[in-house]
Amino acid sequence: MSTTKNYEIKVSIADDHKIFRDGIKMAMGGKEYLKIIWEAENGKDLMHKIKIKMPDVLLMDIRMPEMDGVNAISLIRKEYEGIKIIVLTMYDDQEMISKMMEMGANAYLTKTTDPEEIYNAILTCMNDDFYFNDLVNKAVLLKLQHKKQVKQYYPNPVKFNEKELKILKLIAEDKTTEEISKEVYLSPRTIETVRQNMKTKVGAKTIAGLVMYGMRNRLID
């Protein structure tokens, strides 16, 4: 964990159930590095408060009155690219999971998730951009297997050459460096270099971030 004691992660909660918001505040209240700065009871309240005080991490439900999480995430991503959005909901439907990740979520957790995992997801998103659990892994891989088109929200996608695109697709298929090396006729060391260069190009900290970038920009079809 690269966070220092001098740095606080500002966390906000958007959920229409007060009892759940109170539970999260209680569970996260004593955690190191975290400070809960506000809570919102619906999407409209969330959009109002985010303009006044921007959090580092937003814990957000999908089903909320006034404006739901799907519409809220779309608006947030147009204006606030840096906020880490962790969807925290009752729904574990794979289509919804992949949809929210494609629209810009950094993690997707169900409300039955242990508080320690929620805390870990917050820290991981701050350090690595994404927190991939079994739910997300399964949904994203299923989406890739079905080769459905996904929503693009990055304004200016980076251009990859033909070789880079081939390597990106093989990475998304969970191929090892050695397997990719054999398929594209390059040494494993060269594959590592190309992979690192691609991450640098798109500003991804991890391979998961690189794959999500490819999905969101329809580079992996």
- Residue 111: what pLDDT? 92
Phi (first) and psi of residue 183, to 5 degrees: -75, -35
* Residue numbers of the chain with a pLDDT score lower than 70: 1-6, 141, 143-157, 221
Longest dimension (CA), the chain: 57
For residues 197 and 101, give the distance between their C-alpha atoms in angstroms, rounded to a whole number: 24
Strand partners, 38: 12
- Residue 217: what pLDDT? 80
- Residue 143: what pLDDT? 67
Kindly list the domain boundaries of the chain, sorted by start residue. 9-143, 149-216
Contact between 161 and 198 (Cβ < 8 Å): no
- Residue 108: what pLDDT? 93
- Residue 146: what pLDDT? 59
- Residue 145: what pLDDT? 57
User: What's the half-sphere exposure (Cβ side, CA atoms, 13 Å) at 172?
Assistant: 27
What are 9's two structure tokens?
């992660």
Domain at 149-216, CATH from 3.90.600.10, 2.40.50.140, 3.90.550.10, 1.10.10.10: 1.10.10.10
Fold for domain 9-143? Answer: Rossmann fold (3.40.50)
Q: What is the pLDDT of residues 41-87, one digit of tens each?
A: 999 999 999 999 999 999 999 999 888 888 999 999 889 889 999 99
- Residue 2: what pLDDT? 47
